[in-house]
Structures are given as structure tokens and as C-alpha cells.
Structure 1
Amino acid sequence: MRCATLPAFPRYELEKSNEITAIEALLPVLSLKGSLVTIDAIGTQVAIAQEITERGGDYLLVAKDNQPGLAQAVEDYMRTGKAHDWAHINPSISETLDKGHGRLEARHCVAVAAPDYLSELHRWPKLKSLVRIERTRDIAGQVSSQTQYLISSAAPDARYLLEASRMHWAIENGLHHCLDVTFREDASTVRLRNATANLATLRRITLNLLRMRPESGKKKRSMAARRKVAGWNPDYLFELLELTPLPRI
């Protein structure tokens, strides 16, 4: 699977329509050939799927209420298949189990070939797979579950598509966690729109600079520690910025 952590782009506009516009503007500047593109539910748009496939990539998109006809068609088909034990459907099935920090998380993925007879699916370019992912989480005896339905232009390979979904959320959660914990973004009291956008840009530039130059060796400093060192040590700051240090007098 070709997957990489993309640079952390700030959201200049909060309206959903502008998020769609931003995605449509971003895709043409990315190299998508041979890649599987995952986007949050807001990106489940026919035009976006078309752009991805025309540029040689595949998409894995969430079917939710912003596309109600699609979401209902996929959910009904997968529910019926499960109720009949997937008879005559030949599903691909994959499961994962993660343990750690007092948490147990199980994922069950079923991927099937998209049927030709569902008219709601005809609009989606090169659609090949319908996907159902069920997540069950147990934290200190508190059990919760969530079921997600997706569509993809990739072949119905449950192991591949489940891994792509997991990587999507790992990147998403890792970004938000880092911005909140290391940069304390959620604690910011700045409310002026241009100021919040400018600060968001600066945080993400800083985060990208730190991520693009990972530390080597056994003893690696945390992101917060590296930020502090950059403030204390001009040589390290110049190294991060790939600049030549000023001569010492």
C-alpha cells in the first residue's frame, strides 16, 4: 500500500462547502498515481472521486448522511448480505485486534464487489467495492461499537481496505493529538478569524518542519522537547530550517 502522512494543511474556512472546494483545489497538485486516497465523509463527492480516478488513484470514501441515497443503498445491501450469511456474495473478510493502555479494540471488515443493479451506485466512477467496518472498543469494561460503510474504486480486498482505514484514522488522530498536546491549539483563546488562520498556519508549518527531520539514534526527544531546544539552541533551529548558521563573532 502506498500511503504517506501528508503535510498538515490548516482549514482557512469552517463552512463545509469551502472544505469541499479546498479538497478539489488540493487534489490536482498531488501525485495520486498508484495511491489509495481516503477522505472524511465531506469528501464523498462524485467530482472528487472522478478527479482521483482520472489521476490514476483509487478512492476509499465514507457513505454517510451527506449522500443519503448512497448511504442507504450501501447499508441495505450489506445488512441483507449479513442477514443471509453472505450467501452467493463471496465476501472478503479481515479482522484485527489491538490491545494497550487498558483498551481493547477489535475491527471486523467485510468487502464485497459492488453490484451492478443498484442504480444509486452508477454515478460513482470505477466503483468496485462496498465495505462494512465494525469497531468494538472495550475500555475498563465500558464497551462501545460503531459501524461504518464505505465505497471504493479498489478491488474488494478487506485486509487492504481495513488497513487503509486504520492508517487514515491514525494520521487524523495523531495530527489532532499533537496540535492539542504539543501546541495546545484547543486552549488558544484567539478568536479573530484572520488571527486563528495565521496561527493555525504557523503551527502546521512548525509541525511539518519537525516531522520532516526526525531524530536518529536510540534516545529520541519528544516533539515538545525539540520545540524547546529550537528556542534555546540557534544551531538546532538553523538545522530544522535548513539554513546556514551565522558566523560566530
Structure 2
Amino acid sequence: MQKHHRQNLIEHFKEIRDPRVKGRCDHELVDVLMIGLCCLLCGGETFNDMEDFGKAKRKWFKTFLRLRHGIPKHDTFNRVFAALKPEAFLDCFMRWTQSVRATVADEIVALDGKALRRALEQGQSPRVIVSAWAAGNSLVLGQIQVPDKTNEITAVPQLLRVLELSGCIVTLDAMGCQKEIAREIVEADANYVLALKGNQGQCHQEIKAYLEDAVARHDQERPVEKNAVALAYKETTEKDHGRLETRRYWQSGDVSWLADRQQWAGLRSVGVVESVRQVGQQAPTVERRYYLSSLNVDVEKFARAVRGHWSVENSLHWVLDVQCGEDRNRARSGHAAENLATLRRLALNLLKRESTKKRGIKGKQLNASWDHDYLLRLLSF
């Protein structure tokens, strides 16, 4: 993985091109971005929050920002985030992220989309942001907004091309199980584990039939025959808050029978995961999910990739909605929604990387709002 020179956030922000007319701005771009970021780090959510936060902390901000004309109004925050080019802001975000990202062997990078449910005009569909979540680093590596009137299939390849994925295992849900996406991942010198459902009709039917037969024979513990299917197997059990869940993983390296195997770049294995879940005295539910993968047979690695993918829901999307108020935010003019989503993910990265406070995200936000030294510590990562 390429190493990046580490700069502080102000230096990174200074490299972003200001979209406003030079000489006609009362507030420097770096001041607007830093006040906005600090507001989010302390639990704020809206442009009004940013104005009030800046006024309350003006004396402190003056110690490292110019603030030539004081604290910007909320309308100024809105106009700046609406005008700022998302590509330029994302490039800044990704350069900072790469500068602090640690090398993790077989890093699980989960790509998944999330709707900004209230950032829309009447009659519009919600904007969708696809994020790349590095589970081992607990970092958002990058994001991209899905273009209007399209879906995640069009956005994922664009995001893959700008990420540094060498040596990683990229995971996607069934929407991202596409031949073009598999090729992009392999060309990025990475592996993939792609969930497979009915959107790949014939392929899904073939793999389901093959693995169901193979699992049935495996479970009957028949002696190994000449034509028997060799399956790698792993089982885990989790018990928490009255819920008992058993997961069984099977993986096969035999893909010679798959009709369109040559169209899936780097395809080396197929797998199935069975989840048996029981809550209290209710009858257990059983679900099987099927996967295509470029991994060689290694059921431990396969299981880690499957489980790692769901961390994007629990560690990113849930936190963005519950702790950072993303679903409540109504910023929608120009590029404001997309740029705020990037700033929100930057704030979350900073909060997750700080480890001296043994508290959750909300607790760290409270500490940052109370303690200037702690807020500066967050900004130093």
C-alpha cells in the first residue's frame, strides 16, 4: 500500500479550491470547514448549529483561525457547502484518510449505499451515498453519491477506481454482484466476496443447486468418493440479549461446472452461509446466502469477509443515523447534502480513531464539547 505524507487537517483544507469569486468573500474556506467539522465533532448537525457553535467558541477558534470577519452566518455555511465541488472535497478527504490509514493484511473493505432520507425536495427521490468502510481500520475510505435516476451499480465502479485497495478483500451485497464490478476489483489488485441473489438469475440458480447438494452430502458425512465435492466448513455460535445465532459456512473451490465462470474475473470459489436464529422461545428462523469469490479456499478468511461486511451497517450507517443525525438533516441545496455527508464521515473517522477515551461516539462528542484540549486531540489525528 502506498505511503502518504501526513498533514494536519488545516493543511489539507487549504489545498481545496475555493469555488467562490476571489476577493468577494468575507470568510476563508478553511475557517468555514474547520468550524463546521468541530461542530460535528461536538454533536452539532445543522448549519444553524455551526453558526451558534462558532459564536460560542469564537475566542478559542481565534487561536488558530484568522476569522477576519468573525463567525460566518448559517446562510454562509449553506452557500459554501452548496457551492463546494464534491470531487475536490472528496479528494481532500481521501488524501487525509490514506495518510492515517494503517496497513492491515487482507483488510475487509465493505461497499454499501445509504439514503439521505430528508435531504430532498418535494417529489424527489432520496440521494444515496455509497461508502467504502475499512473494517480493520474503522475508517471510511471514501464515498460517492449515486447519480440521479441511476442506482449503486453505476457509482461503485467509479469509487473503486479512486480507492487504494491492493491486498484488500472487497465485499458487496447483491446489488453490487456484477461482472464489471468484479473485474474492477481484480484490476485494483484486490479480492472480492460478492453476495449473490436473484439479480443474477441463472448464475444464482446454478450455485444454489450445486451448493445445496454439496452441503447435503457433507452433512451426511459420506465417505469421500471419486466425484464427491470437497467443502471447507466452519461453524460459529453467538448468544446475546436472549438471541442465539448459529452460523455455518461452507466454501468450495470447484467452479468448473459454472456456465459463465469465464465472465467473472478471478473467480476461484463459491460459498454459502446458513444463519439459524432463535429469539427467546420463538421458533428458529433459517436463512442461506450464497457468494461468489476470488479467494482461494480458506473458510476462515471467507467467514471473516462475510461477517466483516455487516460492520458497515453496525459501525457506520447506524452511527451516522443515531449518533450523527444524518437521516434528520435537511440540507439539500446544490452540493450541500453530499459535502455534509463527507464532513460527517471525516468527523466520524476522527472520533473512532481517538482511543484515550473509553466511550462511545456520543460520549466522545460530549467530551469534545466540554474540553478544548480533547477537541484539539481529535483534530490532531
Task: State the TM-score, normalized to the length of structure 2.
Answer: 0.57
Q: Which residue of 1 aligns with 2:295?
A: 154
- In the TM superposition, residue 184 of structure 1 has moved relative to its aligned partner by 3.3
Q: Aligned pair 1:2/2:106, yes or no?
A: yes
Runs of 4+, deviation exceeding 6 Å: none
| Counterpart selection for 1:94 from 234, 247, 258 | 234
Change (3 A) 1:164 1:193: farther
Q: Which residue of 2 aligns with 1:202?
A: 343
> What amino acid does structure 2 have at the position aligned with 1:70?
C
| Counterpart selection for 1:127 from 250, 257, 267 | 267
Percent of residue pairs identical: 36
Give the distance between the partners of 1:125 and 1:165, measured in 2 at CA. Answer: 20
Change (3 A) 1:27 1:8: closer
Q: Aligned pair 1:225/2:358, yes or no?
A: no
- Are the counterparts in 1 of residues 142 and 159 from structure 2 also a CA contact under 8 Å? no
Q: Which residue of 2 aligns with 1:184?
A: 325
| Counterpart selection for 1:103 from 243, 266, 269 | 243
SS in 2 for 1:96: strand
> What amino acid does structure 2 have at the position aligned with 1:225?
G
- In the TM superposition, residue 80 of structure 1 has moved relative to its aligned partner by 2.3
- Are the counterparts in 1 of residues 214 and 231 from structure 2 also a CA contact under 8 Å? no
Give the distance between the partners of 2:149 and 2:205, measured in 1 at CA. Answer: 22
| Counterpart selection for 1:41 from 159, 167, 174 | 174
SS in 1 for 2:359: coil
- Are the counterparts in 2 of residues 95 and 108 from structure 1 also a CA contact under 8 Å? yes
Q: Which residue of 1 aligns with 2:376?
A: 238
- Are the counterparts in 1 of residues 171 and 305 from structure 2 also a CA contact under 8 Å? yes
Give the distance between the partners of 2:361 and 2:281, measured in 1 at CA. Answer: 33
Change (3 A) 1:184 1:15: same
Give the distance between the partners of 1:225 and 1:57, measured in 2 at CA. Answer: 36
Q: Which residue of 1 aligns with 2:306?
A: 165
The alignment's C-alpha RMSD in Å is 2.5
- In the TM superposition, residue 6 of structure 1 has moved relative to its aligned partner by 3.9
Give the distance between the partners of 1:114 and 1:15, measured in 2 at CA. Answer: 40
Give the distance between the partners of 1:133 and 1:125, measured in 2 at CA. Answer: 22
Q: Aligned pair 1:60/2:157, yes or no?
A: no
- In the TM superposition, residue 240 of structure 1 has moved relative to its aligned partner by 1.6
SS in 2 for 1:74: helix
- In the TM superposition, residue 116 of structure 1 has moved relative to its aligned partner by 1.4
- In the TM superposition, residue 10 of structure 1 has moved relative to its aligned partner by 5.2
| Structure 1, unpaired ranges of 5+ | 244-249
Give the distance between the partners of 1:224 and 1:42, measured in 2 at CA. Answer: 32
Q: Which residue of 2 aligns with 1:247?
A: none
SS in 2 for 1:122: helix
- In the TM superposition, residue 42 of structure 1 has moved relative to its aligned partner by 1.9
- Are the counterparts in 2 of residues 33 and 57 from structure 1 also a CA contact under 8 Å? yes
Q: Aligned pair 1:24/2:160, yes or no?
A: no
| Structure 2, unpaired ranges of 5+ | 1-104, 108-135, 220-224
Change (3 A) 1:66 1:16: farther
> What amino acid does structure 2 have at the position aligned with 1:123?
Q
Deviations 1:117-168 (A, max 9, x none): 3213221012111101001111222322211000111112222201211111
Larger Rg: 2
> What amino acid does structure 2 have at the position aligned with 1:200?
A
Q: Which residue of 2 aligns with 1:117?
A: 257
SS in 1 for 2:146: coil
> What amino acid does structure 2 have at the position aligned with 1:51?
E
- Are the counterparts in 1 of residues 144 and 159 from structure 2 also a CA contact under 8 Å? no
Deviations 1:188-208 (A, max 9, x none): 162747554344333222111
SS in 1 for 2:260: helix
Give the distance between the partners of 2:234 and 2:148, measured in 1 at CA. Answer: 36
Give the distance between the partners of 2:157 and 2:329, measured in 1 at CA. Answer: 31
How many aligned residue pairs are there?
239
Give the distance between the partners of 1:137 and 1:193, measured in 2 at CA. Answer: 44
- Are the counterparts in 2 of residues 133 and 149 from structure 1 also a CA contact under 8 Å? yes
- Are the counterparts in 2 of residues 182 and 224 from structure 1 also a CA contact under 8 Å? yes
- Are the counterparts in 1 of residues 218 and 231 from structure 2 also a CA contact under 8 Å? no
- In the TM superposition, residue 16 of structure 1 has moved relative to its aligned partner by 8.3
- Are the counterparts in 2 of residues 39 and 61 from structure 1 also a CA contact under 8 Å? yes
